[in-house]
Each structure stands twice: as structure tokens, then as C-alpha cells.
């Protein structure tokens, strides 16, 4: 359970803890209009449990503004926000953006923040992942500031490990393979338990496995690597697990909700999930295996030198639309800068936001509330996005997943499938002028 770090402090004390001073309210405070997912509003307003500190309300009082939220379902966000950025004038002051959307054309529609960062700095910006900041930068400067991060970890059922003779969490990918085989069995109630399952309709999980062998799909500088020898080894290992019966036979059609249910029902022994799934899998009202699920960094192959863990990560950032009201940019930036300061980042983390500052995971106040803080610290430096962002990235991702799944389930030979994936991705990248 997360704790309230402010205990019985009153609202004035909380405001001081956030580094704000209450100002005199104006008759009509100017608005800052934000387009986001509901989770972003909830963690800022303290409505997802944990510390439950309303950072937004405190900022409104201190800065003499009104925050006006428009929340959008995740499956509609990209389309709605991109269309809003492309109209001649928007009333939106801040947009929350996923890293996979950060194409050159999107970045061109955001306000550069360098001048504002210089005049009103965010403290200790070096603590914010440079790879995340770079993903939202172009030749004109920094276009968005990261706010929320979701690294992928290996989750496993401790009880299954103990009863199936798996002595400890896997230290190498080879250990992981053996654990997956041992943890595949039929329960006393007749239910089949599979050693491992992962998502195949988005790239994150598959990329983690590739990186366990030092492989990748596309590098940040747009080199295609999906049919390199290391990638062939990774997919061959997954095909061998499938043939051994350690992966579900319907792997290619499992949705994220399916995988979460399988883990919560004890029907898979291992899976790859974002760090914050720990609480869901161990909540008695949401999980049949509460108290039995633990986590570890995903291990690399013993043949990979210098890197012990593999991960991928998605993250959210806050940007200012270039087609918005120029007079509103300063107050929009002030909110972004405020939410990015180290002390406020800690409060956000205690409000159940996954922090983007490495120092937060080492902070005792936060580490005491989440058991995975130490593991995330280990993977954060290598938790890069699975794909670089470009106009055809979703099509390239689809080609990669279709061909890779075909190889894993045996519909195609591994090398032939990955060669086809590389050829398909190359066509997309040439069409987009990247090759």
C-alpha cells in the first residue's frame, strides 16, 4: 500500500511542500487547457490513491490560473491530438504525447522550449532520461518534457516457481527458458498453465526478448536489424518454447487484457508487464494469485557481454501546440516546468505516477512505497523505446509482428520470416524517405 507522505498536514502545508506560495485570486483566472489521458489528470489531482495530493489545485491557487482538462480514451488520443495540432488555431495550451507519436511532422507543430528553459530552468534536468528528452527534440530544440514512464519487467508467480522446482528468478535468458519449461504444467483442477506469454499486437514485449540477445528491430539512427543473427537467435528461442508447449497456442491473438487476466488467474507463470502492474496482480479483489506475484529485470543471454538486463519503455511527455494562443505559452510552460521539478516529481510518484527521474527511485520516501524501485533503477538506463518514431512506424511495427509471430508459431521458417520483415520495413522506410 502506498502511504501519504504528508500525513496530517493541512492544505497550506501541502502547498509549501510543493514549493508554491498562495497568491491573491483574480476575479477571473486565466485558463490552462490540457488534453490528456484520464490517468494524467488523476495523478496530478491525487485521485489514484497513494499520497493523494492535489498538485493541480495547489498550482491553480499559487499561479492564479484555472486548469481545464479534456481527457481522451487512449485509442482515440493520437488521432484527436494530431488533428488538433494541424488546424489553423487551437484553444489547447498543453498536450500529453506518447513517445511513439514523436515524428518529425508532430515535433514541427510544437513550441521549442529552450528559451523558456533558460529563463525559467527545470532543476537538475540531467536527472531526466536524456534518451526521453532527445526523443522529443529536433533541430529547433526541446519540444516536450517527459512526465510518465513505464518500463517493462519480468513478472513471475513465486508459488509456481517453488512448487515446480525453479530455485530463483532467472539470471540469464537460458535460465529463463528452463524456468518457462518447468513452470508449464496442468493444475490439479485440470487448468493448463503456460510458462510464459507476452503481447504480440504491440512491439514492446517482443523487443525486450530481442534485446536479451543484443538485437533490435530498427536502431535510433534507422538501421534495420530484425534479420541480424542475434535477432534470429532470439526468435528461434521463442519458437522452441512454443514447440515445447511453454507458450499458449493462441499467442498471436492474445490482447493485453487477456494477458493480464491469465497472469491474475495463475494461468501463466511469467509475463512481461509495466512495473505498476505489481499492485494489480497482488490486489485480492483483482487477482486470484494476490501475494504470489513478484518481479525481476528481464535477463540477457549468457552470450551477451556487458549488459545483464533487457527492457523497453514507453513514456509520455508534455508539449505546447505551436498553433495555440501565443499569450498562453508562458503560463503553460510554467505548469510543465512545475510538474517537472524534482520535489513535485516525487509528489507525483507518491500519487502513483511512474517517475521519469532516476533519483526518485532512490528516494526513501518513494522506495518505501513500491517494492520494484530498486529493479527499475537497474533497467531505467537501458529502457529505450522499442521503435524510433517516424511516419510509417505503425506499419513497420505491424509487419515486424506479423512475420515474427509467424516464425514463433511455426507458420514460416525463422530466417525466412525475419528476412521478409526486414524487406517489408525497408519498403516503408524508403517510402518515408528514410533510406
The residues facing 153 across adjacent strands are: 273
- Looking only at the bridges linking them, the beta strands covering 141-142 and 270-274 are unpaired
Instruction: Specify the pLDDT at position 117.
Output: 96
Residue 97 has pLDDT above 70, yes or no: yes
* Residue range 307-325: mean pLDDT, rounded: 93
CATH architecture of the domain with range 11-150+313-382: 3-Layer(aba) Sandwich (3.40)
Query: In angstroms, what is the C-alpha Rg of the chain?
Result: 23
**CATH code matching the domain that covers 151-311+388-431, chosen among 3.40.190.10, 2.40.50.100, 3.90.1410.10, 3.30.70.3270:** 3.40.190.10
Instruction: Specify the pLDDT at position 27.
Output: 52
Residue 163 has pLDDT above 70, yes or no: yes
**Topology alike, domains 11-150+313-382 and 151-311+388-431:** yes
Residue 128 has pLDDT above 90, yes or no: no
Q: Give per-residue pLDDT as tens, 222-244.
A: 999 999 999 999 999 999 999 99
Task: State the pTM of this model.
Answer: 0.80
Residues 6+ apart with CB under 8 A from 432: 390, 391, 392
* Residue range 122-131: mean pLDDT, rounded: 87
Domain segments of the chain: what residues? 11-150+313-382, 151-311+388-431
What is the phi/psi pair of residue 212, to 5°?
Answer: -65, -20
Distance CA 265, CA 263 (A): 5
Q: Give per-residue pLDDT as tens, 7-21.
A: 333 343 444 445 555
* Residue range 428-435: mean pLDDT, rounded: 93
- C-alpha grid cell for residue 108? 514541427
Are 182 and 286 contacting, i.e. CB atoms less than 8 angstroms apart?
A: no
Amino acid at each position: 500500500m502506498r502511504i501519504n507522505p504528508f500525513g496530517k498536514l493541512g492544505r497550506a502545508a501541502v502547498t509549501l511542500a510543493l514549493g508554491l506560495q498562495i497568491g491573491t485570486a483574480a476575479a477571473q483566472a486565466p485558463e490552462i487547457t490540457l488534453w490528456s489521458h484520464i490517468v494524467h489528470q488523476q495523478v496530478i489531482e491525487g485521485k489514484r490513491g497513494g499520497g493523494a495530493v492535489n498538485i493541480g489545485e495547489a498550482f491553480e491557487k499559487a499561479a492564479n490560473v484555472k486548469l481545464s482538462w479534456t481527457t481522451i480514451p487512449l485509442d482515440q488520443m493520437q488521432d484527436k491530438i494530431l488533428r488538433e495540432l494541424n488546424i489553423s488555431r487551437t484553444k489547447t495550451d498543453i498536450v500529453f504525447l506518447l513517445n511513439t507519436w514523436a515524428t518529425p511532422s508532430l515535433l514541427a507543430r510544437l513550441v521549442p522550449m529552450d528559451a523558456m528553459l533558460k529563463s525559467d530552468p527545470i532543476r537538475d534536468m540531467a536527472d531526466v532520461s536524456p534518451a526521453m528528452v532527445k526523443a522529443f527534440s529536433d533541430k529547433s530544440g526541446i519540444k516536450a518534457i517527459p512526465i510518465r514512464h513505464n518500463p517493462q519487467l519480468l513478472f513471475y508467480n513465486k508459488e509456481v516457481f517453488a512448487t515446480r522446482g525453479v530455485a530463483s528468478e532467472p539470471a540469464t535468458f537460458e535460465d529463463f527458458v528452463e524456468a518457462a519449461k518447468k513452470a508449464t504444467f496442468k493444475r490439479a483442477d485440470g487448468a493448463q498453465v503456460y510458462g510464459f506469454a507476452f503481447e504480440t499486437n504491440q512491439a514492446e514485449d517482443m523487443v525486450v526478448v530481442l534485446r536479451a540477445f543484443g538485437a533490435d528491430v530498427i536502431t535510433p539512427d534507422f538501421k534495420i536489424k530484425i534479420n541480424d543473427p542475434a535477432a534470429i537467435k532470439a526468435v528461434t528461442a521463442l519458437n522452441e518454447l512454443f514447440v515445447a508447449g511453454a507458450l499458449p497456442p493462441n499467442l498471436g491473438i492474445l490482447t493485453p487484457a487477456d494477458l493480464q487476466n491469465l497472469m491474475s488467474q495463475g494461468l501463466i507463470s511469467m509475463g512481461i508487464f509495466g512495473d505498476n502492474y505489481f499492485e494489480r496482480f497482488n490486489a485480492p479483489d483483482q487477482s486470484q494469485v494476490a501475494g504470489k506475484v513478484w518481479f525481476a529485470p528481464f535477463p540477457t543471454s549468457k552470450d551477451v557481454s556487458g549488459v545483464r538486463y533487457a527492457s523497453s519503455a514507453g513514456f509520455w511527455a508534455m508539449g505546447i501546440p505551436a498553433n495555440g494562443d501565443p499569450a498562453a505559452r508562458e503560463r503553460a510552460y510554467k505548469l510543465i516546468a512545475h510538474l517537472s521539478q524534482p520535489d513535485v516529481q516525487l509528489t507525483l510518484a507518491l500519487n502513483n505516477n511512474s517517475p521519469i527521474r532516476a533519483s526518485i527511485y532512490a528516494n526513501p520516501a518513494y522506495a518505501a512505497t513500491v517494492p520494484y524501485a530498486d529493479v527499475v533503477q537497474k533497467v531505467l538506463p537501458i529502457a529505450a523505446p522499442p521503435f524510433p518514431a517516424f511516419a510509417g512506424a505503425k506499419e513497420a511495427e505491424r509487419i515486424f509482428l506479423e512475420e515474427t509471430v509467424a516464425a514463433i508459431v511455426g507458420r514460416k521458417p525463422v530466417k525466412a520470416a525475419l528476412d521478409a520483415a526486414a524487406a517489408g520495413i525497408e519498403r516503408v522506410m524508403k517510402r518515408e524517405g528514410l533510406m
